[in-house]
Amino acid sequence: MTPVARNRLFALGALLVAGAGLGFVAFGNIGENLVYYWSPSEMLAQGEKAYSATIRLGGVVQPGSIQWNAEHTTLHFRVANDAKEGTPSVLVRSTETPPQMFRDKIGVVVEGTYDASGVFSSNRLMVNHSNEYRAPKEGEDPNKWRETLSEGTTTASTGTGAEAR
């Protein structure tokens, strides 16, 4: 075999392996077995199997559910499937200072454990941002977002959960 023919064979082989690997990743449904986080309804559907294992729970902070106890520095809030009312949600307890953007209706991913008491104890609280970038509206100061939090001027992160499936 000439070197050129041998190299072409190598190229064909490598391309075939690469294509098969990529095809498997893209269409092999590995996402069904390997998810970065569970939504509240998925976790609740697991029943007792979800207890005491370290898991990630992802969703949206249910509007009006944030309770910050400054004395004990504990944070309670509910993670819901989406920002709509009445969707399944899970109560989360965190002792961490939340990231700057944490607020109602924003997408969050929490790492921790769930148990029979129905409380998810989080030891890692992450906020995920949507793919939207906008200038502040008239009169808004983005660096003082905390003060505007109560007025509900913020938008929900929709780039998570249901849409990603």
Partner 1 sequence: MNKLIKWGLPVVGLGVLAAGWWLGLAWAPPDREMGDVQRIMYVHVPLQWMAMLAMFLNFVAAVAYLVRSNASWKLDSTAESAAEVGLVLGALGMVTGAIWGRPTWGVYWSWDPRLTSEAIMLVTYTGYLVLRRFVEDPDKRATWSAVVAILGAINLPIVWFSVRWWRSLHQVQSSPKTVDPQMVLCLRVSAIGLLLLTIAMLMHRYRIALAERRAEVALPEALPGTGGAASVHDTPKVA
Residue numbers at the binding site for partner 1 (CB under 8 A)? 3-4, 7-8, 10-11, 13-15, 17-18, 21-22, 25-26, 31, 34-37, 58, 96, 98-102, 109, 124-137, 140, 142-143, 145, 154-155, 157, 159-161, 164-165
- Give me the residues paired with residue 121 across strands: 93, 113
| Closer CB to partner 1, 48 or 133, in the complex | 133
- Measured from the CB of residue 115, what is the shortest distance to partner 1 in angstroms? 23
| Closer CB to partner 1, 19 or 115, in the complex | 19
Ligand-binding annotation for 133, yes or no, is yes
Identify the burial level of 41 via C-beta atoms within 10 angstroms of its C-beta, where 0-12 means exposed, 13-18 middle and 19 or more buried.
middle
**Token digits for 7?**
């190299």
- Measured from the CB of residue 135, what is the shortest distance to partner 1 in angstroms? 4
Cβ contact 58:38 at 8 Å: yes
- Measured from the CB of residue 164, what is the shortest distance to partner 1 in angstroms? 4
| Closer CB to partner 1, 55 or 126, in the complex | 126
Q: Residue 95: which residues within 8 A CB-CB, separation 6 or more?
A: 73, 74, 75, 123
Measuring CA to CA, which residue among 92, 100, 99, 106 is closest to residue 156?
106
Ligand-binding annotation for 72, yes or no, is no
| Closer CB to partner 1, 70 or 135, in the complex | 135
- Measured from the CB of residue 71, what is the shortest distance to partner 1 in angstroms? 23
In three-state secondary structure terms, 63 is coil
CA distance to 31, 59, 67, per residue, from 55 (Å): 16, 13, 23
In three-state secondary structure terms, 12 is helix
Binding-site residues for heme, in ranges, read 129, 133
Binding-site residues, in ranges, read 129, 133
